[in-house]
Structure 1
Amino acid sequence: MLFGLVMALAAALFFGVAMVLQALGAQRHSPAADGSGLLGTVRAMVNLPFAAGLLLDGLGFVAQLIALRSLPLYVVQAALAGALAVTAVLGAAMLKIRLGRAEWLGVAGVCVGLAVLGATAGAEGHRQPSTAFHWMLLAAVAVIAAVGGFVWRLREPLRAAVMGALCGLGFGVVGLAVRVLPAVHGMDLVPLLTDPATYALLAGGAVSFVFMTEGVRGGKVTTATAAMVLGETALPAVLGVVLLGDRTRPGMVPLAIAGFAVAVAGALALARFGEVTPVPEAAAADEPTRVG
């Protein structure tokens, strides 16, 4: 379990740094200049900061997969939301962004909440849903993608909120899919290749990534990120307990709920740090600036 906790925190670190790089890269390309369609989204990804963020996302995804195979889903998803604390501290240290009292409280809340979750978490549940649930995960990705296509041209801030929520739900599907994947023995990949959960994982990650990129490009990143945090933590945590059998240590359910709530609340307080704007050199030389 300790190794799983380390991997969950490593995933948060990788995703937090990647968020800074991807926001910097994506905000170089506005929807007005590149178009609001899928081609414009692809153009927003073709630059060095965004590519570096993609590499870190890949490392974070591997760490997430390892963590999900040994920890309850609610712990891992809360840790991933804690990536915003990494983003906020990194922005303060490297981009000369001044954190206010609320932001530092948010960072502290994430840290305290995750510490409590780590101390109260039991082993991952070993309950395996039926094959129908695996197909339901794949169908859920299709529904998320369809809804995203429908709301693509909505006006802000509604568009950002819906895109962020869909992104979070997609990442939640990814977490659930990882938990129900069959074990691989040696080089026998047939069980993986024939399991719909494998394709739910891949498609869910891709769809979520596109929607989050659109939220960043639309300018309402605080709204999108807050919706993403709620989408990727609340529902997957409940499903992990109800369907997969995730549990806390004996007698620690109230403390675990409190830790989860504090960690998510801290992440929500830091939601605006999904938007990182480069500081002009002249301004940076005079005084640190705030995000907002």
Structure 2
Amino acid sequence: MGRAMTTLFALLIAVAAMIGNTVAALWEAKGSRLAKYGRLVWLQPWFLAGLAADVVAWVLTVAALRYLPVFAVQSILAGAIALTTLADHGWNPWNLIRRDRWAVVAVLSGLVLVAASAEPERPDALPPVATPVLLVSFALLLVAVPFVWRAGRPMLLAFLAGLGFGGTALAVRAIHPGPIRWETVGDLLLDPLGYGVVAMGVLGVAAFAKALQDGAVGTATAVLSVTEVVVPGVVGIALLGDRIRPGWEGAALLGVIVALAGVIALTRPDPDSQRRRVH
């Protein structure tokens, strides 16, 4: 498969993962609403279907990270909030308030720039310091968990969740940079980064769930989205050899900024609904 086709294929996988995350969010939300009528959320078929969609989306994300830089994959995944917003309004953009319409356009436009700027090639081997730095960082995050949990601040929890999900992406990207074959499966099981994927994933899910319980959904989602795009994106470039196409550095930065600005706008409450609530 040629380089251009590989890039296109990886981008399509990342977009499929974004769609999977959107479907998962919609189904889990429906299951959560039904759970209010007396049944446990874990027994709701819609919620369980959403979890299954999450698993599929995660597998697709892992596949995309084998070929694309962390900043590109994470930025594309952040676009799920735009699709979720559209879905909540019947997939009709004219049902959105003007601010949200422009925000959706910003997210999608930013993602196009990010996708176009990604350099699909990756180094054959990681820098020697990459794995130790990642593992020490993961350990420090886990040490910080009880203190953040005890503080109970939703934004801090959302930030921690973003670092957890970002750490998962970095670990997936860093594991065995060469081609994965049957004979390398044993090496993967012995790679400590594999356990980092699990630990950071659990941390992200738990911290974000706690943040949503105690804080505003929109603000927590914005903090999560910005953190899981910016932090792992920078680390991927600095530590893992992720690269931007020559001459596209400005476009990549602009794309990330525009997309994240749209995400933040979409997580803000509708001013009209707030006004109605006050009156």
* TM-score normalized with structure 1 length: 0.80
- Alpha-carbon distance in structure 1 between the residues aligned to 2:195 and 2:135: 7
CA offset digits 1:206-258 (Å, max 9, x no partner): 22112222223335111211111111011111111111222222211111211
Contact 1:84 1:270 in 2 (8 A): yes
Paired residues in the alignment total 262
- 2:160 counterpart of 1:162: no
- 2:173 counterpart of 1:176: no
Amino acid at match of 2:201: G
**Distance change (3 Å), C-alpha of 1:160 and 1:24:** farther
- Alpha-carbon distance in structure 2 between the residues aligned to 1:94 and 1:266: 17
Give the alignment of 1:72-83 within 5 angstroms.
72-83=69-80
Give the alignment of 1:135-284 within 5 angstroms.
135-154=132-151, 159-182=153-176, 183=178, 184-272=180-268
- Alpha-carbon distance in structure 2 between the residues aligned to 1:176 and 1:26: 30
Q: Residue in 1 aligned with 2:4?
A: none
Contact 2:175 2:193 in 1 (8 A): yes
Q: Residue in 1 aligned with 2:110?
A: 113
- Alpha-carbon distance in structure 2 between the residues aligned to 1:65 and 1:189: 15
User: Greater shift after overlay, 228-237 or 46-55?
Assistant: 46-55
- SS state at 1:189 partner: helix
Determine which of 44, 47, 50 is the counterpart of 2:47. 50
- Alpha-carbon distance in structure 2 between the residues aligned to 1:188 and 1:133: 20
Q: Residue in 2 aligned with 1:39?
A: none
Determine which of 6, 9, 19 is the counterpart of 1:13. 19
- SS state at 1:70 partner: coil
Contact 1:79 1:114 in 2 (8 A): yes
Determine which of 70, 73, 78 is the counterpart of 2:67. 70
Amino acid at match of 1:251: G
- Alpha-carbon distance in structure 2 between the residues aligned to 1:236 and 1:271: 21
Instruction: Using the aligned pairs only, state the percent identity.
Output: 35
Contact 2:130 2:240 in 1 (8 A): no
Taking CA–CA contacts closer than 8 Å with sequence separation of 6 or more, which of the two structures ends up with the larger relative contact order? Answer: 1
RMSD of equivalent CA atoms: 2.9
- Alpha-carbon distance in structure 2 between the residues aligned to 1:203 and 1:22: 22
How far residue 23 of structure 1 moved from its aligned partner, in angstroms, is 3.6
Determine which of 5, 10, 16 is the counterpart of 1:4. 10
- Alpha-carbon distance in structure 2 between the residues aligned to 1:145 and 1:174: 13
Contact 1:141 1:173 in 2 (8 A): yes
Query: Which structure dedicates a bigger proportion of its chain to helix?
Result: 2
Contact 1:69 1:179 in 2 (8 A): yes
- SS state at 1:270 partner: helix
How far residue 28 of structure 1 moved from its aligned partner, in angstroms, is 6.5
Q: Residue in 2 aligned with 1:122?
A: 119
CA offset digits 1:36-81 (Å, max 9, x no partner): xxxxxxx654533321211111011011011111111111010111
Unaligned runs of 5+ in 2: 1-6
Q: Residue in 1 aligned with 2:90?
A: 93
How far residue 259 of structure 1 moved from its aligned partner, in angstroms, is 1.1
Contact 1:26 1:213 in 2 (8 A): no
Determine which of 56, 64, 80 is the counterpart of 1:59. 56
How far residue 195 of structure 1 moved from its aligned partner, in angstroms, is 0.8
How far residue 161 of structure 1 moved from its aligned partner, in angstroms, is 0.7
How far residue 11 of structure 1 moved from its aligned partner, in angstroms, is 0.8
